[in-house]
Chains A and B, each alone.
Chain A
C-alpha cells in the first residue's frame, strides 16, 4: 500500500511538473533572453525533500522527456539544452545534504541548471562567447531560485499530513 501510494504521488508530481513546464514556456516568458523562472523545479525539490534522491532523478528525467515529447519532437536542439541543464542540477541535488534549506538548494540548482545549458550550447555551436551571458544568468537565477525554493517549502508544509 505504501509503495503504491508513493508511485501515485511521484506520478502526480511528474504531471504537475510537465504541465507547469509547458504552461511557463507558453505564457510566462516575460524575462529577457527567453529566460524562464523554472517553476517545474519546485516539484523536483518536493520529491527530493519528501522522498529521496532516486525519486528526484526519476522525476527530472521523466519530466524533460515528457515535455520534449509534448512539445513535438524528441531529441531536438531544445531537448538537449534542457537535458544538459537537468543533468547538472540533478547532480547537484544528489550531492547536497538533505538538511540544507530548500531555498538555498533551489538557488544552487537554478545556477547549475543555467551552467549545464550553457555547456551544451557551447558544445553544440562551438562558440564559447555565449558564456558572457553567465553573469546575467546568475543574477536572474538567484531571485528565481529563491522563489521556487520558497514555493517548494510551502508545498512541503501543506503535504506534510499525508506523510505521517
Chain B
C-alpha cells in the first residue's frame, strides 16, 4: 500500500473515532429523564439525581421507570415482549434510548 493511501485511511479512522467520542459526550450533561409517547407528548419529566419509582400509563398497560444512583431503567412493564426491560440500566455515560413499542413509550435524556 502506498503512503498516501495509508494516510487517507488513517484520517478516516481518526474522524470516525473523534465523532464517536463527540456522540458519546453529547449526553454527559443531560440530567433529566423524559418519558414521551409516540406523538412526542411529554408524559413524565424527572431529575436524574433523585431516586424514585414512577409509573406511566401506556397503550397496553402500565410502564414503570426506576431511577437510582444517577441511572434509570424500565421495570415491571405490562407488554408482550419486555424488550425495554432488557435494555437494562442507562446512565448519561452509557446512553441509549429505551423504547417500548407496544406501549408507545420512549424514555430519553434531556437538559
Grouping DSSP codes into helix (H, G, I), strand (E, B) and loop, the A interface class, with mixed when no group exceeds half, is: helix
Main secondary structure of the interface of B (DSSP, over half): helix
Q: Give the complex CA separation of A104 and B4 in angstroms.
A: 10
Stretch touching chain B among A15-23, A57-65, A120-128, A131-139: A131-139
Flag if A135 contacts B9 (CB, 8 Å). no
CB of A100 within 8 A of CB of B5, answer yes
Instruction: Name B6's closest neighbour in chain A (CB-CB).
Output: A104
* Sampled A-B contacts (30; CB under 8 Å): A101-B2, A101-B5, A103-B1, A104-B2, A104-B6, A104-B8, A104-B9, A107-B9, A107-B12, A132-B23, A134-B16, A134-B19, A135-B15, A135-B16, A135-B17, A135-B19, A135-B20, A135-B23, A136-B16, A136-B20, A138-B13, A138-B15, A139-B13, A139-B16, A139-B17, A142-B9, A142-B12, A142-B13, A142-B16, A146-B9
Give A125 to B43 CA distance when docked, in angstroms. 25
CB neighbours of A132 from chain B (8 A): 23
Q: Which residues of B contact A (CB under 8 A)?
A: 1-2, 5-6, 8-9, 12-13, 15-17, 19-20, 23
Q: Residues of A contacting B19 with CB < 8 Å?
A: 134-135
B residues near A104, Cβ cutoff 8 Å: 1-2, 5-6, 8-9
Which residues in B have their C-beta under 8 angstroms from that of A42?
none
Give the chain A neighbours of B17 by CB distance below 8 A.
Answer: 135, 139
Name which residue of chain A comes closest to B5, CB basis.
A104
Min CB–CB distance A142 → chain B (angstroms) = 6
Alpha-carbon distance A139/B9, docked complex (angstroms): 10
On chain B, the residues within 8 Å of A138 by CB distance are 12-13, 15-16
Please report the C-alpha to C-alpha distance between residue A34 and residue B50 in the assembled complex, in whole angstroms: 37
Query: Given A100-B5, A103-B5, A104-B1, list of 11 further CB < 8 A pairs?
Result: A101-B1, A104-B5, A104-B8, A104-B9, A107-B9, A135-B15, A135-B16, A135-B19, A138-B16, A142-B12, A142-B16
Is A111's beta carbon under 8 Å from chain B?
Answer: yes
What is the distance, in angstroms, from A153's C-beta to the closest C-beta of chain B?
Answer: 10
A146 to B8, CA, bound (A): 13
Query: In chain A, what residue has the closest Cβ to B9?
Result: A107
Question: Shortest CB–CB separation between residue B9 and chain A, in angstroms?
Answer: 6
B residues less than 8 Å from A111 (CB atoms) = 12
Point out the residues of chain A lying under 8 angstroms from B1, CB to CB. 101, 103-104
Q: How far is the CB of A101 from the nearest CB of chain B, in Å?
A: 5
Closest to B22 in A: A135
For B5, the chain A residues whose CB sits under 8 A away are 100-101, 103-104
